[in-house]
Chains A and B, each alone.
Chain A
Amino acid sequence: MGVGKDKKGSLQVNLGKQKSKNTIIKEETISSQSNKEKVNNSEEPEHHQEEEEEEIASDSESDYQELSDYEDEDYESSGGSESGESNSSGDEGSIDTDNDDGMDSEDQSNDSESDKVAEESDSSEDEVAPRNTIGDVPLKWYEDEKHIGYDITGKKITKKERQDKLESFLASADDSENWRKIYDEYNDEVVELTKEEIKVIRRLVKGKAPHLDFDPYPTYSDWFKWDAKHPLSNAPEPKRRFTPSKWEAKMVVKYVRAIRKGLLKFDKPKEEPRFHLLWGGDSGSAEKAAHLSYIPAPKPKLPGHEESYNPSLEYIPTQEEINSYQLMDEEDRPKFIPKRYTSLRSIPAYENAVKDSFERCLDLYLCPRVRKKRINIDPKSLKPKLPSRKDLKPYPVTCYLEYKGHNGAVMSISTEASGQWIASGSTDGTVRVWEVETGRCLKIWEFGEAVQCVAWSPLHELPILAISVGQDVFVLNTGLGNEVVQKKVKELLHVEMSTPADDSGNKSSSLSWVQDEKHEGIKLRHFRTVSAVEWHRKGDYFCTVMPAGESKAVLIHQLSKKLTQRLPFKLHGLPVSSVFHPTRSVFFVATKKNVRVYDLLKHKLIKKLETGLREVSSIAVHPAGDNVIVGSKEGKLCWFDMDLSSKPYKILKCHPKDITSVVFHRSYPLFASCSDDCTAYVFHGMVYSDLNQNPLIVPLEILRGHSSSNGRGIMDCKFHPRQPWLFTAGADSSIKLYCH
């Protein structure tokens, strides 16, 4: 506040000066007023006197005197008014008025002299009495009378005795003063002129102004400049001009009282030292009040090398870079462009100095402050601690074999239980059986329609293949194995012609078991497209999934009895895939959103697994049966621990595109997912028998090698039943084997 107070101090001085000046002015005005009053008061009697003079003049008989008197009077009045006005004009001061007063008094004395003359001429004591009162009538009327008129009491004024001419001549010759005597016919008396009167007459004769002091050429005074009454107004001076103001008196009393009480002070307030020792003890005596935590504002950023007036050359952007800033978004554009000045004297003023400061001010009082911890972590510490990959070997690492022969995308593959053979189905309408070790194609079936799914029977002694093609499901004899096996298989795959009628009558009219002569197997004609075929572990049952099949979407077939039954549960949503439990009589059905787990013996729903995914694409069950993985079309993979909860234990977002298939290894703690982005992930998925221990999931390897065609990548993947090898079927019509 230093400035404020200082300012005030100086201001006060100024005001003080002004005030004193003002008071002076006021005094002046007061004095002038009083003068004016005085003048007014003095003027009052003057008026009377003037009237008297008039009377006197009327008494006297000399015309000449009358004339002179008039002159006098005129002058008097004009002088009076002049003095009054000059008084009211204020500044001209009291001297003028004094002068005027003096003149007035002179005039008065003049008048009194003339009075004396009149007295001399008239014997009576009374001044008024000898005056003739006849008025302005021709004296001719009184020529014959003895008197010349009447005095104020009504008595006749008798004529004086006429001296004869000789006598009067002699008297005049004797009297040296005779030349200044004039006979006043009207009053019948002789008037002796005074020196002054003679002077006036002389001046008149000369054609000058009668009065000596009259200035015919006065210096012009501007009436309007002085804020005065216009001199042209002839209005009489109002009374309020010369009576003391009641309100002023009241105000004066008020001021006096205020001063006495100390309410009004005229002296300057004392200047106190503005600063004192604020932090005197500084021992923390002024404890911070128990208040909200104060968050100090962050300090402004310190300047770097680039803000120097003479930075290193590399800090200065090139012209192209500066031009490119113009193309940038307003917010991305750098706020400060480094510039180089070769000497200190050439630095110009920084045009944003005030603005920067202002913005800092705004930040200080308008920005919400939040205390944030600056995270200073080594990013490596954020990574979860995982066991080394070396300890988790073996797992598939590199592409070892490629099976080529298909002409279209390979939709599905399946490994035989012994691990010697794999079967693959493709969109070119063929199913091939390959020898794993050599890559030799053993057998080809042609269906003329895209093959959706192939599945080996899980029994080694029954080399049967289930294939879904469009609406049909074929159960084929692969022709592998010795003769005993072949005989058994052929027996199993023989269908009586009568059975389909029975079956259709009993259970599902739309389904028929038909002997297919061409492919040496059984053909099951479904009423909708079959998308998936899955075997039960015992090789007698298999299930088929028709997504569009509504209530009969999931069917379970029994091979030995050639029997088909639908799932005796209401399905919520579109079924996508279904799996048998590896050990128990439990059945998993994956719909688009959820996975439902049914007990087939007890005919009831055991559990509903909520995936939270947008669209489930595949499902696989851990060989122990308590863990399930679900792949989705948004590339997420969910691991469910069935004992833990119905929510996923872990969600892995591993693929950027759809997951097409997920699979568990039968004996190794491995699982894999393959996707349309042409990669397959191999994970270590250890499940402990100890229920308290959560399953351990470690990503092991990302397998690449397939190329995408028509936006599809890897369509299916399967583990080798005994080796830690992974087969992948690609949309690029190749099958690859990844080994450890």
Chain B
Amino acid sequence: MTRKIKHYRPPGKKKEGNAARFITRSQAVKQLQCSLTLFRKLCILKGIFPREPKKKVKGNHHTYYHVKDIAYLQHEPLLEKFREIRAYQRKIKKALAKKDNDQAIRLQTRQPAPSYDGAILQRYPKFVDALRDLDDCLTMVHLFAVLPASERLKIEVECIHNCRRLSHEWQAYIVRTHKLRKVFVSVKGIYYQAEVEGQKITWLTPHAMQQVLPDDVNYSVMLTFLELYQNLLGFVNFRLYHLINVEYPPILDPQLEALAAGLYALSRYIDARSSMSVEEPKASSSSLPDQFRSQVEVTENEESEIRLAQLQHQLPTNEPGALMHLVQDAEGEDEDDEDTKECKKLFRNMKFFLSREVPRESLLFVIPAFGGVVSWDGDGAPFKEAEQSITHQIVDRPTQGHKYLSREYVQPQWIYDCINARIILPTEAYLVGRIPPPHLSPFVDNEVEGYVPDYAETIKRLQAAARNEVLPILGVGKEDLDDPQNLLVEGYISRTEAIEAAERKQKMEDLEKQHHEELKMELQNLHSSPVSKKIKKSPVKDTESKEESRTDLQQFIEDNERRETLLMPRKKRGLYEAIKKNKERKNAHVNKLKERKKAIEARKSDKN
């Protein structure tokens, strides 16, 4: 008997299947004739990731790439460009080695630089695609905006500045268009969520503290990502600014920028530009000096005058289409969706003043995004602390010495909680010196999670109250939501909602009852079978019977379960078990929370 070799491939025949479709990383590097670092860089820039073949022909410990991916890289213009750069760098090195400084300098001035627009366009053929993938980009850029520059790690100052500028530009756009939706202050930083063109974009900005650069991080990888992200964000910003008829890149007032109020400067710029484009040409030209007079006054040096001149120079490009813009803008106002309108109105007619100790960057971004007017303690601020029209002062200190009676002194968390709840919350709990109520994540669906924190309930109540324009009575908020009728009386829930809730509850109850009945019936069946009625081996005591019936019930349910799963195919059974396990884990988590809450409450009541 001749045994047939299973995987024998006759010579000359091509590989097939997974062997032909996937190659390992080292093979790929060999094929591309580049170094591993360059390969990594290309993968990052082109967004090429390893694949998981069904059958790993070369072994389990290899990384596999798709052959087509690699073939795609082979014809990549970026690869050529990087090779060119490498050759060029050699020239510089050679010149330096020969001490031909002249030549070296000359070469250095005109180094070839890779352009990423092709790669970006290929990765994101549509603008929406780019927006969809913007989360990581924004997080990274915002992180690098606060990192210290480091010569050793090759994090250059220009890079940091550029990141800061890009992040400010992005924030200015969000502020201008009121696209911000949710803010969450976590231990890791502040999460923002904006909705641009229907895409929810979430990013994380670190707290404004000195960041440490850990050693166990490969910065070259991060910088490669950052290079791509900077370009991507630049192009995205360009497009967004283009959409709101503002020129990009914006030219900022250096004085304000120097005062670390870059965002404010940008917002002012955008406001000025877009309002200019809306106004009629003559009016705009006349109003322009007014617009910038303040700046001139502030800076009063030649530089800003030059800038002013530049701005004026740029103006005519906008003028012909100004009327068109007017129309467009008018339409644009109407086009704003409900959410945006709501957000725009949240802090309307409110004037905020930030004390020194509050996170200024964040609040300067957040408050205007929701329609508020804000100033801060420091140079270049639009108005001073003594201004009478200020309604709220944001303070984060144990005690406030001098207080104006005309305004409320609240902690910054109030702003964030208001934003997430989309209503103006009562400020009592957030006053100076108090420990504010818990700050809840707006990204959690409490119903799905299965556990609703107390404060979420309170906020829900307040929201409902605000919708009905009925002022909430404090203290009522602690009551249970279980009885919708009760709530209806108090006008907390609109009628339809109440009916719906009641129906839902009724249904749930019905279902539950039905289930219980079924169980009971079956149990009764079990006990009341004709034979068992005839003879009972041992008289059972009443007290015991209860316990027994309970264990019996458990046993019964278990048996039921077992019977049902017995006939499942193996695959389905595995899936079923997994689902069950997951549910149990979730329940355990919720139970733990409830337990802790109970313990806390018990401790509280003990103290009282």
Residue B297 lies at the interface, judged by CB distance under 8 Å to chain A: no
Could you say which of A231-239, A290-298, A542-550, A607-615 contacts chain B?
A290-298
Does A339 sit at the interface, judged by CB under 8 A?
yes
A4 to B234, CA, bound (A): 14
Flag the segment in B110-118, B385-393, B493-501 that touches A: B110-118
- Of B216, B227, B239, the residue contacting A1 (CB under 8 A) is B227
In the complex, whether A89 has a CB less than 8 A from a CB of chain B is no
Contacts of B555 in A (CB 8 A): 704
CB distance from A149 to the nearest CB of B (A): 64
Known A278-B117, A384-B567: A310·B438 in contact at CB below 8 Å: yes
Q: Which A301-324 residues have C-beta < 8 A from chain B? A: 302-305, 307-318
Do B121 and A312 have beta carbons less than 8 Å apart? no
Interface check A12, CB cutoff 8 A:
yes
Question: Which residue on A lies nearest to B597, using beta carbons?
Answer: A314
**A12 to B184 CA separation, bound complex (whole angstroms):** 44
Task: Point out which of B66, B222, B580 has the most chain A C-beta atoms below 10 A from its C-beta.
Answer: B222
A245 on interface, CB distance cutoff 8 Å: no
Closest Cβ–Cβ distance, residue A486 to chain B (whole Å): 33
Q: A22-B102, A302-B191, A343-B435 are in contact. List 9 more A-B contacts (CB 8 A).
A: A4-B113, A8-B109, A18-B105, A286-B125, A308-B441, A312-B454, A368-B64, A700-B563, A739-B531
8 residue pairs A–B, Cβ–Cβ below 8 Å: A1-B113, A279-B121, A282-B126, A302-B202, A308-B185, A349-B212, A382-B568, A397-B526
- Binding stretch for chain A, among B49-57, B337-345, B375-383, B401-409: B49-57
Q: Which listed residue (A8, A344, A365) contacts B358, Cβ 8 A? A: A344
Residues of the A chain whose Cβ atoms lie less than 8 Å from the Cβ of B159 = 3
The 8 A CB mask of A601-642 against B (1 = contact, 0 = none) is: 000000000000000000000000000000000000000000
Query: How far apart sit A312 and B349, CA to CA, in the bound complex (Å)?
Result: 32
Q: Is B33 an interface residue (CB 8 A)?
A: no
Interface size, B (range): 35 or more
When distances are taken between beta carbons in the complex, the residues of chain A under 8 Å from B216 are 355
Give the shortest distance, in Å, between B398 (CB) and chain A (any CB).
8
A361 within 8 Å of B by Cβ? Answer: yes
Question: Looking at chain A, what size class is its interface with the partner chain?
Answer: 35 or more
Which of A264, A294, A314 is the one whose CB lies under 8 Å from B600? A314
Residues B443 and A304 in contact, CB atoms below 8 Å apart? yes
Which residues of A sit under 8 angstroms from B298, Cβ to Cβ? none
Q: Which of A157-165, A267-275, A585-593 lies at the interface?
A: A267-275
B91 within 8 A of A: no
Task: Flag whether B411 is at the interface (Cβ < 8 A).
Answer: yes
Tell which of B188, B411, B412 touches A303, judged by Cβ atoms closer than 8 Å. Answer: B188
If A302-B202, A308-B440, A697-B567 touch, whether A8 touches B212 (CB-CB below 8 Å) is: no
Q: How far is the CA of A304 from the CA of B136 in the complex (A)?
A: 18
Chain A positions within 8 Å of B105 at CB level: 15, 18-19
Residues in chain B near residue A269, CB distance under 8 A = 109-110
B 66-80 to A, binary, CB cutoff 8 A, 1 in contact else 0: 101100100000000
A311 nearest CB neighbor, chain B only? B438
Question: Is A291 a contact partner of B188 (Cβ separation < 8 A)?
Answer: no
B242 touching A350 by the CB < 8 A rule? no
Are A6 and B191 in contact, CB atoms less than 8 angstroms apart?
Answer: no
Min CB gap B534→A, angstroms: 8
- Taken together as a complex, chains A and B put the C-alpha atoms of A189 and B98 apart, in Å, by 68
Per-position binary interface string of chain A over residues 241-282, scored 1 when its CB falls under 8 Å from any chain B CB and 0 otherwise: 000000000000000000000001110110000111111001
Are A361 and B184 interface neighbours, CB within 8 A? no
B121 lies within 8 A of A296 (CB) = no
Are A278 and B235 in contact, with the CB atoms below 8 A? yes
Q: Quick one: closest A residue to B239, CB to CB?
A: A279
A353 touches B566 (CB 8 A): no
Given contacts A350-B189, A354-B213, A382-B575, contact A699 B125 (CB under 8 A): no
> A365 and B440: CB pair below 8 A?
no
B106 near A264 (CB under 8 angstroms)? yes
Is A214 at the interface (CB under 8 A from chain B)? no
A354 pairs with B68, CB closer than 8 A:
no
B85 to chain A, nearest CB (A): 11
> Given A349-B207, A361-B221, does the pair A1, B116 have CB atoms closer than 8 Å?
yes
Query: Once the chains are docked, how many angstroms separate the CA of A686 from the CA of B525?
Result: 23
User: In the complex, A314→B592 CA distance in Å?
Assistant: 9
Query: Whole-angstrom distance between the alpha carbons of A735 and B235 in the complex?
Result: 84
Tell which of A8, A367, A398, A401 touches B49, judged by Cβ atoms closer than 8 Å. A367
In the bound complex, residues from chain A placing their C-beta under 8 Å from that of B249 are 275
Of chain B, the residue at the smallest CB distance from A269 is B110
- Collect the chain B residues with CB atoms within 8 Å of residue A460's CB: none
A375-409 interface code vs B (CB 8 A; 1 in, 0 out): 10101001110100000000001101110000000
Residue A345, interface by CB 8 Å: yes
Q: How far is the CB of A679 from chain B (nearest CB, A)?
A: 9
Within the complex, the shortest CB–CB distance from B271 to chain A, in Å, comes to 21
**Please, which residue of chain A has its CB at the minimum distance from the CB of B603?**
A313
CA distance A505 to B382 in the complex (A): 124
Question: Within the assembled complex, what's the spacing in Å between the Cα atoms of A6 and B230?
Answer: 14
- A366 contacts chain B at the CB level, 8 A cutoff: yes
The yes or no answer to A443 lying at the interface (CB within 8 A) is no
Q: Which of B202, B567, B597 has the most CB of A within 10 A?
A: B567
Complex interface: chain B residues within 8 A of A309 (CB): 185-187, 439
Nearest to B596 among chain A residues (CB) is A314
Query: Which residue of the partner chain A has the closest CB to B441?
Result: A305
Known A358-B221, A400-B531; judge A369-B49 contact (CB<8 A): yes
- B559 contacts the other chain (CB 8 A): yes
A202 interface contact, C-beta 8 A: no
What are the residues of chain B within 8 A of A38 when measuring CB–CB?
none
**B242 neighbours in A (Cβ, 8 Å):** 277
B444 within 8 A of A: yes
CB pair A353 B126 closer than 8 Å: no
Q: Shortest distance in angstroms between B143's beta carbon and chain A's nearest beta carbon?
A: 5
**Beta-carbon contact of B186 and A365 below 8 Å:** no
What chain A residues lie within 8 Å of B110 (beta carbons)? 265, 269
User: What is the minimal beta-carbon distance from A20 to any residue of chain B, in angstroms?
Assistant: 12
B238 part of interface (Cβ distance < 8 Å): yes
List the A residue with the shortest CB-CB distance to B579. Answer: A379
A292 to B70, CA, bound (A): 11
